[in-house]
Amino acid sequence: MRKEILEKIIKLKKDNTKLARAFIIQAKSSSPRNTGTEMLITESGNTFGSIGGGQDEKKVIEKALDLIKKGKSEKLKLTLTRKEAAEIGWVCGGQIDIFIQIIS
């Protein structure tokens, strides 16, 4: 865990903010970020850090908000095919496995 992420978690917990930590546990092909990349999502939808942006990050944020409400952590697999990547102007796709950890 990066120092900046840990410091942000401590600050948010002091403010009694519910949050999730999403981090890439496996990256295949040409994913925009590497294994270990992480971000925080608060119960109000604010984020700190990035796992790569775009539709994948939007899906992670939406899933994290749902999991915060449920109070449970979960693994998520996201795949972007080369065709889908081309449709949004990216060069190639990839697959990432993300763990969304609820921090209570």
Tens digits of residue pLDDT in 19-46: 999 999 998 876 667 889 999 999 999 9
Q: What pLDDT sits at residue 52?
A: 80
β-bridge mates for residue 37, sequence order? none
Q: How many domains does one find in the chain? A: 1
Looking at every residue in the chain, the average pLDDT score rounds to: 88
Q: What pLDDT sits at residue 31?
A: 66
DSSP single-letter state for residue 51: S
Range of the domain at 68: 3-103
List the chain residues with pLDDT less than 70: 1, 30-32, 81-93
**H/E segment holding residue 64:** helix 54-70
Listed in sequence order, the residues at least 6 apart from 79 whose beta carbon sits closer than 8 Å to its beta carbon are: 93, 94, 95
pTM: 0.85
Q: Give the type of residue at 31.
A: S
